[in-house]
Amino acid sequence: MTLVESGNVGIGTATPNEQLEITGNLRLPPSTATGTAGVIKSGADPFIHNFGLGNFFAGLNAGNAVLKAENQAITGVGNTGVGASALSSDTDGSVNTASGLGALQANTTGSSNTASGLWALKNNTTGNFNTASGLGALSSNTGASNNTALGFLADVSSGYLTNATAIGANAVVNASNKIRLGDANVTLVETAGNLRVGAGGGFLGCVQDGNGTVILGTCNSDVRFKTRISPFAPLLDRLVQLQPVHFFWKATEFPDRQFGSSRSFGLIAQDAEKLLPELVTEDSSGYKAVRYNMLPLMTLQAMKEQQEQIKTLQEENADLRARLERLERMMGSYAVSMRVE
């Protein structure tokens, strides 16, 4: 060991350039809860230590290095925390990975969680199998499990949802067993391939709008789920006046709408609204949209009305035919009688 005039200490070197310079390995004993051994500190606070079995912590006050109540040993194993206060409250949680200031900082017994980013999963205490990536991701999760959030402030609306997924900046999922893509600013979800819903074989596979109204697919329709049921009003005369058109979108004038450039087809909302107001809706900017998912049911209603008209015509035609046949028989009888005379 060498102590030079500047006050630097060298171990394995005679010319240390730092206050302490070591050319070989630095071996520390296992970290102790009292911090008397196996801990590298920053000031008076733990900075790097491996308290517990298979744990590793790096960052100011990262990892819990304090014995539990009644001097019980911390039992959490296989944890990794990197960042100030990451996993700083963990006692019995195991196999957690936290990277970022405050990531999983409140976790006590939750296990198999992964948090990456400032304050990711910061309020989780007992939840398991959660994954959060992004600043503040899943910061509202407290005791729930199997949740996933990817993106800046991607989160759950309640601390006790399960199997919920939020993807995208500010995306917030509000129910268990649900996936939320993006926030309210997302106007289009696009895929270059197919979109498959449901498990097939008669299982549900339903595409719905934000109000739960069916767009297409195999959807819940049991009468036991429904109330205040009423039939469609007659609409045949109005429906047949709808005029399908071909058109091109003004894609360059409305880039935020993500319109395509190819020739398209459909209805003009303003024209449809004059005939069937319930077929048209309007967004917060005043632009109108057509609820195309209503057209098949409207067409079914129109077919029922048309079928009633056909049935009435058939009955009238049968009556006219019977009257004609009676008239022909009467005329035939009259002709015969005239010949006899």
Fold of 227-341: Arc Repressor Mutant, subunit A (1.10.10)
**Average pLDDT along the chain:** 90
* Residue 140 exposed, middle or buried by CB count within 10 Å (0-12, 13-18, 19+): buried
pLDDT tens digits for range 33-75: 666 688 888 888 888 988 888 899 999 999 887 766 555 667 8
pLDDT at 313: 95
Per-residue pLDDT band for 25 (boundaries 50, 70, 90) equals confident
Enumerate residues 6+ apart whose C-beta is below 8 A from 30.
Answer: 37, 38, 50, 51
Residue percentage of the chain with pLDDT more than 90: 61
CB atoms within 10 A of CB 61: 19
pLDDT tens digits for range 70-96: 556 678 899 999 999 999 999 999 999
Say yes or no to pLDDT of 3 above 80.
Answer: no
Mean of pLDDT values over 197-215: 82
Global pTM exceeds 0.75: no
Enumerate residues 6+ apart whose C-beta is below 8 A from 202.
Answer: 218
Look at 25 and 154; give whichever has higher pLDDT.
Answer: 154
pLDDT tens digits for range 137-195: 999 999 999 999 999 999 999 989 999 999 999 999 999 999 999 999 888 888 888 88
pLDDT tens digits for range 305-317: 999 999 999 999 9
**Residue 280 is encoded by which pair of tokens?**
């048209």
Q: Are 82 and 105 in contact (CB under 8 A)?
A: no
pLDDT tens digits for range 99-130: 999 999 999 999 999 999 999 999 999 999 99
The Cα–Cα gap between 4 and 17 comes to 10
Percentage helix, strand, coil for the chain under 3-state DSSP, each rounded to 5:
20, 20, 60
* Residue 139 exposed, middle or buried by CB count within 10 Å (0-12, 13-18, 19+): buried
DSSP H or E stretch at residue 149: strand 148-150
pLDDT at 70: 55
pLDDT at 273: 97
The Cα–Cα gap between 295 and 300 comes to 8
pLDDT at 254: 92
Domain extents for the chain? Answer: 227-341
